[in-house]
Chain A
Amino acid sequence: MRRLSWSLIVVVLNAVVVLGAAESYSVVEQADFHKKADELKLDRDAYWRVLLHVVHGRSLVDAPQFFLAPNGKHDPRAELHADLDAFFAASAASAAADAQGTTATTEKFLDPVERFPARCAWLCERLGIDRSRLPISAPKEFDQAVAEFGPRGVSLVFPSAYMSTPASMFGHTLLTIHSSYKNPLLSQGVNYAALTSHDNGIIQAFKGLMGLYPGYYSLLPYYQLVGEYSDLDQRDIWEYALNLNEAETRLLMLHIWELRNVWSGYFFFDENCSYNLLFLLDAARPGLDLHGKTNSFWVIPLDTVRLARDAGLITSSTFRPSRATRVRALAGTLSSEDQEAAYAIALGERACDSISTRDPQKQARIIDTASEFLQSLRGRGKVSVEAYQVRYHALLIARSQLQAPQLADRDIAAPLSPERGHESARVTLGGGRAFDTNFAEFGIRPAYHDLSDPQEGYQSGTQVEFGNVVARWWHDDQRLSLERLDVIRLRSFTARDHFYRPISYAVDTGVTREYFAMDDAHRYQAYLSGGAGACWSPYAGALIDVLFEADLRVGGIDERYSVGAGPSAGVSLPVASDWLLRSEARILRQGLGIQATNWETTISIRWAAWRNLAFMAEGARRARWDVLDTSGVVKALYYF
């Protein structure tokens, strides 16, 4: 009895102490804080705008649950005051559930402090609010997760261009947060991507371009992302370590917490994966303002890596080769005969014991090549699960008998880090002669890279051009003309080797100015052309491509359209490190509509003087719409 009454007294005393210690703010004090927020103009503070993703006065976020004020999306000040009210009044029981189209399992809803820990922390700090006097003083789940996770740093990850896919040629960016684990595979990946449904390819492309998909931030183990990109074969990954310290990493995580299940319209050109990651970096280091440094029209992933570099964030880079790169590197250590053996073994046409006479190191290397390539085949659906399992297992059993190290990623020669290549936009200035007249030429291209641009940092044989415009001032006629406007020009010339036999392709569309001798008239034609074929690489950086092309033109004279087809061939020969010789030849027999045999041979030589400055001389002999002409141009190319 006595013990019970003592316990009761202790309990009561504790309750008094607990209740008395955290004396919450009175209504008057709360009103003072609201007033102070307005006096300090906190709603206009750059950091508040980062946390709300405010650009041009309104938040880019579309999910209603990101805002506590009804018009929070359009009114950062209203949102600030609504949040303050919520923090003062918070209680777990009164919070409303997140119900925006998620299939969230039944966890208890999260109070405002748990939902918006970054906003709470910042507002309390700026206004001098004592958090222990708030009904909910800390985001418990966040603190717990962070304590277990132990964040210690951040990397910016750039999976490079996937050349078989036009739109992924710009690459992608994501972040990884390093935990107390040392192995980078065990870090936490942060990814912003569109949630696509079962739409087909064309619809997905359209919706992605038009902002019709919701984009979400997701957190998932980095090794899962590595696995995906590796299995997509061709995407090498660059990991850039950033110099965010532990406190800054924590700020980044505070803000990520606020973005759970929060969607915003995904726009391929500007509000895409790379752009939305910048808000996280800006939250980590107040004043960074990377998102404000992007241009208004488009955000190219590689450019965001450059922004991080220019802001002094990047400390080092690590190259993580794709599966295809690994296969090629492994094969490069084998003789041609051994490469054939590896290929045959991967396809199940030969057994492992057919190579048992070779020395163990060689055997191991052949098996490693075969097993890696076999995974590649599986990833492309070219071998069934059952056949794969049997073959792969047998290969690895054989491998386990051999004492020989694997070829480690760090032993594979890394190309120049992509952000050190030339800048994305280009202007050209030059002069030349065509149709027996001199001309001056001016060109501008917003993005990105062609076969003759300085190749360092870019994948050989890739071309992605958007919006290339060329104008000429003709001396004799004293007139300026728009010579061409290429909306898109793509090339994917990937060399075939023992293991990979990709199809090389070209796709171009735009408008060109044509001269029709039959009518002595200049006319504009819209064109769409495409070609497919093969490419080989005799030595590093060199290309030989052969394609069959088709060409559709609208406009011109007479029938005002023309359709043609024919073969083309090209050679790119790099010489020393700065010079590139390229020659092309093609014939297009335009057989429908306006008829002609249009052929051309061109030769160009390009010198990369500096990273962002090059010079080029080009000569061409063309027969086009029954006019034979020899032309030449010399120009300077500047990248910015």
Chain B
Amino acid sequence: MRKILAISAIATLACGLHAADGKYDIRSNVGIGLGTTIFENVGDGLLSQICAATTNGTSGNQTFAITTGTSNAKKWNGIVMNDKAGAFVRDNMDVLARDMSAGSGDHLDALAELMAIPAADRAVFAASMQKNFGVIFSSPSVTHQQVIENIAKITG
């Protein structure tokens, strides 16, 4: 993938907060599932949170990249599933799942925009996601890769 500004992410673990890192690669074999991109707090303890507080280093992720991500676009029957859409699915699996199951939501709208679905068609897209939820999120341990492919197949 052509890197516009690829200063690589210096992934750090600040106080055990796990930052979602790395580059989304449409060819990647590593699957991310539900519940794995949620930032796990070390606990509500005072001390464990002081670091994140005094440094505001919540992400610890020193990425410096303008994610343009229109490259590596694949088209399945006219729907654009590009790197940015894929990264969005990977990073927002849980919220997207919830939006899809309800047939509406901010994150689902954002995905539709990334997939270049025209505004007039988004309601249909959302309804289709809800109707096919069981196909898209085919099992509790479904990975983001599979979700992306399932979405593309359904919308195709």
Contact = CB atoms under 8 A, between A and B. Distances in A.
Contacts of B56: 168, 172, 192-194, 272-273
A405 B137 contact: no
Contact of A183 (B8, B87, B109, B139): B109
Interface stretch (B62-70, B72-80, B148-156): B62-70
B25 interface: no
Given A227-B92, A392-B35, A220 B51 contact: no
B87 to A, nearest CB: 8
Interface string A244-261: 000000000000000011
A349 interface: no
Interface stretch (A16-24, A209-217, A582-590, A620-628): A209-217
Contacts of A145: 4-5, 66, 68
Contacts of A44: none
Interface stretch (A196-204, A305-313, A518-526): A196-204
B4 A141 contact: yes
B40 A191 contact: no
A409 B106 contact: yes
A218 B64 contact: yes
B101 A397 contact: yes
B98 to A, nearest CB: 6
Contacts of A381: 40-43
A364 B102 contact: yes
Contacts of A168: 49, 52-53, 56
A107 interface: yes
Contacts of B134: 397, 400
A195 B57 CA distance: 6
A260 B58 contact: no
B39 A399 contact: no
Contacts of B65: 219-220
B50 A392 contact: no
B130 interface: yes
Interface string A394-437: 10110110011110110000000000000000000000000000
Given A168-B53, A392-B94, A195 B113 contact: no
B124 interface: no
Interface string A218-260: 1111011101110111000000000000000000000000001
B60 interface: yes
A205 B68 contact: no
B135 to A, nearest CB: 10
B44 A375 contact: no
B68 A182 contact: no
Contacts of B146: none
Interface string B23-36: 00000000001111
Nearest to A260: B64
Contacts of B131: 400
B58 A186 contact: no
Interface residues on B, range: 35 or more
Given A105-B6, A195-B60, A392-B97, A149 B53 contact: no
Given A167-B53, A400-B101, A223 B10 contact: no
A408 B102 CA distance: 11
A380 B43 contact: yes
B39 A162 contact: no
Interface string A158-202: 000010111110001000000001110110100111111111111
Contacts of A220: 59, 61, 63, 65, 67
B114 A385 contact: no
Given A183-B109, A379-B40, A393 B66 contact: no
B64 A217 contact: yes
A148 B73 CA distance: 14
Contacts of A196: 12, 14-15, 51, 55, 57, 60
B38 A231 contact: yes
Contact of B54 (A162, A205, A231): A205
Contacts of B98: 368, 371-372, 396, 399, 406
Interface in A61-110: 102-105, 107
Contacts of A439: none
A182 B42 CA distance: 35
A225 B59 contact: yes
A228 B106 contact: no
A25 B44 CA distance: 62
B140 interface: yes
A225 B61 CA distance: 10
Given A201-B47, A220-B65, A400-B130, A194 B41 contact: no
B137 A165 contact: no
Contact of B7 (A185, A192, A261): A261
B44 A503 contact: yes
Contacts of B35: 378, 385, 388-389, 392
A439 B141 CA distance: 70
Contact of A104 (B8, B43, B91): B8
A233 B56 CA distance: 16
A228 B55 CA distance: 15
A372 B66 CA distance: 31
A167 B50 contact: yes
- Nearest first, the 5 closest Cβ-Cβ pairs linking A and B are A204-B51, A208-B54, A194-B55, A167-B53, A168-B53
17 contacts: A103-B10, A104-B7, A145-B68, A148-B4, A166-B50, A167-B53, A183-B106, A193-B60, A201-B15, A201-B47, A207-B55, A266-B55, A371-B98, A378-B38, A381-B41, A404-B102, A406-B99
Interface of A: 102-105, 107, 141, 144-145, 148-149, 162, 164-168, 172, 181-183, 185-186, 188, 191-202, 204-205, 207-209, 213, 216-221, 223-225, 227-229, 231-233, 260-261, 266, 268, 272-273, 364, 368, 371-372, 375, 378-381, 385, 388-390, 392-394, 396-397, 399-400, 403-406, 408-409, 502-503, 505
